[in-house]
Amino acid sequence: MNEAFEKQLMRSQIEVQEATLSVLGKELHDNVGQLLSSTKMLLGVTERKLENPPDTLLIADETLGKAIQELRSLSKSLDKEWLEQFNFIDNLAAEASRINTSGDLSISFSHPAFLPLNAEKQIILFRIVQEAIQNALKHAHAKTIHITVAEISEALIITIADDGQGFNIKNHKFNGVGISNIRNRTALLGGTAQWDSSETGTTILIQLPIQTN
């Protein structure tokens, strides 16, 4: 009875959290997003009235545009219905495009048209790849990353290869937060994660089992 109660309590807490996040996401999109869009429109009107608008005004307009895009992405990620229909390919393609626009990193993404995973598993896989990208950027100081997803013999193969500073695998303890997150989340999906690193970069190979009908 205690176990059943704990499960019911946890389920209720999750439902309340989902409802709260859904409301927050809609508020961000409908109210805050509208205010930012109106502000950007006013900046645009001011720019057109000036023969030589100052660089600070142009930069402010561009920065505000990026903030609106980030807000829209955030509001989507908080929406329960959006999470239930989460698409790994679409979201990673959008993430790669956003990072490529910043100029700090160049990401290429090769993928099939469809992933044979449910939405929950696709969300976890997306977090795994996000973690790998952040590791390559922060620790390896990579300039390019190649991400490939392929379905081979009832397995999903994901490779994430960067050109950053590699590390000695034999002497590495693999106990960092980023690596632990990748391993733990991959294990949740019933898969494995392996690292191959050298002076010219690091490649992460992730293998996930899939069930075909």
Domain boundaries of the chain, sorted by first residue:
2-84, 88-209
Q: Cα–Cα distance between 60 and 210 in angstroms, integer?
A: 47
pLDDT at residue 107 in the model: 94
Q: Which of 32-46, 136-150, 159-173 has the lowest mean pLDDT?
A: 159-173
pLDDT at residue 105 in the model: 87
pLDDT-derived band at 143, boundaries 50, 70, 90 = very high
pTM surpassing 0.75? no
Beta strands across the sheet bearing 201-209: 106-110, 144-152, 155-162, 201-209, 192-198
Render 148-201 in DSSP notation, one character per residue. EEEEETTEEEEEEEE-S----TTT----SHHHHHHHHHHHHTT-EEEEEEETTE
Are 115 and 156 in contact, with CB atoms under 8 Å apart?
Answer: yes
Q: What is the mean pLDDT of residues 31-39?
A: 81
Q: Which residues contact 106 (CB under 8 A, 6 or more apart)?
A: 100, 143, 144, 145
Q: What's at 103, amino acid-wise?
A: G
Q: What percent of the chain has pLDDT over 90?
A: 21
pLDDT at residue 15 in the model: 56
Q: Which residues pair with 107 in a beta bridge?
A: 145
Question: Is residue 19 predicted with pLDDT exceeding 60?
Answer: no
Q: In CATH, which of 3.40.1390.10, 3.30.565.10, 3.20.20.70, 3.40.50.1980 is domain 88-209?
A: 3.30.565.10
196 vs 1, more confident? 196
pLDDT at residue 203 in the model: 94
